[in-house]
Amino acid sequence: MKPTRTSKAWMREHVNDPFVQKARREGYRSRAAYKLMEIDDRDRLLQPGTRVVDLGAAPGGWSQVARQRMGKRGQVVAIDLLPMDPLDGVGFFQGDFHDQVMREKLKEALGGEADLVLSDLAPNISGLALYDQARAAELWDAALGFSVNLLQRDGKFLVKVFHGGDFESYVKRMRGIFETVATRKPAASRGRSSEVYLLGKTLRPGAVERWSAEEGRVD
């Protein structure tokens, strides 16, 4: 397929992006690594001994940062529909985190409930704004449901979201699940992008039951 003017402009911006260049110099798999670094500098999420799940992990930038910052202690388990090159100290599953069997495998690999769930998920962009926003919101909800059912009581959930029609309702849902919810906009997130990160800390009592009632199911 012949590159479009838009795709050429994106590629020029990407290649010239200072965080892309920095990631190449410093050996990180993606510029997104610096987003997690900045958030972790502020919120101290990646402590030695933490059990971490990285949703939508490929190519592995966030898993790479998690493993480095935690040292040899703790567990990092990653999952993606796409393949991911191996990372020392990171368990990887290629599959769908919606699948209950896969959830059980992730929990087994962790050795118990998670302390931290990371989600840098984003849908493939079609260019149709309403459709893309709806698909993104479905992923946010799926990641939240996964977290509710896997996190331990004092667990944390960091998720990428986008400002738009579903943003405020999603923040409200997270506040019903977590005792505190904070917004983060790291420097590596492009200024013109509508993406921000929401950080939920500590499940509210009855969060699992509340989520199951809202979804009309019991996971």
Where in the sequence numbering do the catalytic residues fall? Answer: 160
Question: Cα(200)–Cα(202) distance, rounded to whole angstroms?
Answer: 7
Question: Cα(130)–Cα(205) distance, rounded to whole angstroms?
Answer: 35
Give the residue among 55, 64, 77 at the shortest CA–CA distance from 159.
55
Q: Which residues contact 143 (CB under 8 A, 6 or more apart)?
A: 55, 97, 117, 119, 121, 157, 159
Q: How many helices (H) and strands (E) does the chain have?
A: 8, 7
Residue 73 belongs to what H/E stretch?
none
Per-residue CA distances from 6 to 12, 123, 127 (Å): 10, 19, 11
A 10 A CB-CB count for 106 gives 23
